[in-house]
Amino acid sequence: MPTSTQPPAEPRKILWLARLERRFHAWRERRARRRGMRPTVAAFPGYGGDGWIRVVGRVLIVRPPRRTENGELASVRGWRSFLGIPVGNARVTVTVAGRRHEVVADRGGVVDAVIDASLEPGWQPVSFSVEGCEPVEARIFVVAPDVEVGVLSDVDDTVMVTALPRPLLAAWNSFVVDEHARLPVPGMAVLLERLVRSHPGAPMIYLSTGAWNIAPTLTRFLTRHLFPPGAMLLTDWGPTHERWFRSGRDHKAENLRRLAAEFPNITWILIGDDGQHDDEIYTQFTRDHPDRVAGVAIRRLSTAEAVLAGGRTVVDDHSGAAPWVSASDGAGLLERLDEAGLVGPGGSADAPRR
């Protein structure tokens, strides 16, 4: 066999802040375990296709949630979502249709794995367990092989008024505001519901630069305001091996490319706003994959919102074949997408998606 003359690869250097973060969480984990606390899995909606599923969740040590006198979960202020202790490199058992699969969380406790599984199209249950604790159930939306259209939506300032691009208000909304005080963007729930009913079997994907910490809050928000259920793709805040902070823009672009590869027969209706690079990201994706975009809908921020968000990020070259529309709310976007032929009557009102 030929021998290589290349020197061995040097081990990748890890940013000192990432090492510090890892040690801090390890110290918190040791303290919690000494107090008798055990990890659990916060399981999130995932998606899948013919013969495979993508499961997402996070391994955490958390205090039991508070409940009201009626037994309902008490409302949660944003900062409490960030108190959970991530358990890095935890071994998690995922049970799918009676078969057990073992996956490993990353150093931030995030589980994001693809598993071989043959499930019927539609919402299907899976369960997560760690260290023998009580299993936690999640749902996976399995896309049928003949589905041709999918819906993908940004969250921040597209479906939820969070003002995430604005540094000071973002901190207020993320860490202080009660989840019941968060407001939906007018008309967006109706828009997304009409889209998924117009295209039976279409996957609904919520792609956000928000942290996985807010996933439970986001799920309750979407349910409360009657948004269609869908898989969630969030990110893990904090330093990476090479950078002080993760790139939200890269997170969105990478997941769009991944969805294009995972579902080669699907064209996507992409929904976002003009205050957080969505227009630019969708424009680039349309250039790279012109046959994979059915249409783009961009919510226009108000003048005040755009100023606080640091301006607009509009790319003017929308000369591709896919319809490209914009409006200030969901009702306007629905009207324009309807004119473009992307919204139909919507099928039966009793069609189950939840």
CATH of the domain at 287: 3.40.50.1000
Task: Please enumerate in sequence order all residues whose Cβ is within 8 A of that of 318, keeping only pairs 6 or more positions apart, or say none.
Answer: 283, 296, 324
Residue 98: count of CB within 10 angstroms of its CB? 5
**pLDDT (tens digit, 9 = 90+) per residue, 14-49?**
455 566 667 776 778 788 878 888 899 989 999 999
Is residue 36 packed enough to be buried (19+ CB in 10 Å), middle (13-18) or exposed (0-12)?
Answer: exposed
**Which three-class secondary structure state does DSSP give residue 184?**
strand
The answer to whether position 346 is within a domain reads no
User: pLDDT tens digits, residue range 299-324?
Assistant: 988 765 555 555 555 555 676 678 99
Domain that holds residue 317: 149-339
Domain final residue, candidates 142, 157, 188: 142
Both 129 and 158 in a single domain? no
Is there a contact between 303 and 329 (Cβ–Cβ < 8 Å)?
Answer: no
Q: Which residue among 96, 117, 142 closes a domain?
A: 142
Nearest to 219 by CA among 168, 172, 170, 159: 159
**Which regions of the chain are under pLDDT 70?**
1-21, 25, 63-83, 162-181, 237-248, 276, 303-317, 319-320, 345-354
DSSP-assigned beta bridge partners for residue 112: 56
- Does the residue 11 lie in any domain? no
> Does residue 282 sit in the same domain as residue 177?
yes
Same domain, 238 and 325: yes
Among 246, 269, 291, 288, smallest CA distance to 158 is for 269
Reported pTM: 0.81
SS3 200: coil
Please answer whether residues 338 and 197 qualify as being in contact, where contact means their C-beta atoms are separated by less than 8 angstroms. no
How many independent structural domains does the chain possess? 2
- Measured CA distances, 232 to 56, 174, 245, 315 (Å): 8, 17, 21, 26
Kindly state whether residue 347 falls inside one of the protein's structural domains.
no
Question: What is the maximum alpha-carbon separation in the chain?
Answer: 73
Quote the DSSP letter at residue 31.
H
- Of 142, 163, 190, the last residue of a domain is 142
Instruction: Tell me: do 109 and 221 sit in the same domain.
Output: no
Pairing mode, if any, of strands 91-96 and 149-153?
A: unpaired
176 — alpha (psi -120 to 50), left (phi > 0) or beta?
Answer: alpha
Q: Does one domain contain both 65 and 213?
A: no
Position 169 scores a pLDDT of: 45
Residues 125 and 181 in one domain: no
Residue 14 CB neighbours (<10 A)? 14
Residue for token digits 């008798």?
36
Inside any domain, residue 201: yes
Phi/psi for 346 (5° steps) reads 100, 10
Please state, in angstroms and rounded to a whole number, the distance separating the CA atoms of residues 32 and 131: 15
Strands 324-327 and 293-299: parallel
Asked whether residue 134 falls in the same domain as residue 221, the answer is no
Contact (CB, 8 A) for 87 and 60: yes
Cα–Cα dist 78/218, whole Å: 11
Q: Are residues 287 and 170 in the same domain?
A: yes
How many DSSP H helices and E strands does the chain contain?
Answer: 8, 16
| pLDDT for 107 | 83
CATH number at residue 107: 2.60.40.10
State the amino acid at position 7 in one-letter form. P
Does residue 183 sit in helix, strand or coil? strand
The rounded distance, in Å, linking the Cα atoms of 53 and 4 is 39
Give the pLDDT score at 3: 36
Q: Are residues 167 and 308 both part of a single domain?
A: yes
349 within domain boundaries: no
**β 231-235/267-273 pair status:** unpaired
Say yes or no: 136 and 41 in one domain.
Answer: yes
Identify whether residues 171 and 222 lie together within a single domain. Answer: yes
Asked if residue 279 and residue 138 are part of one domain, the reply reads no
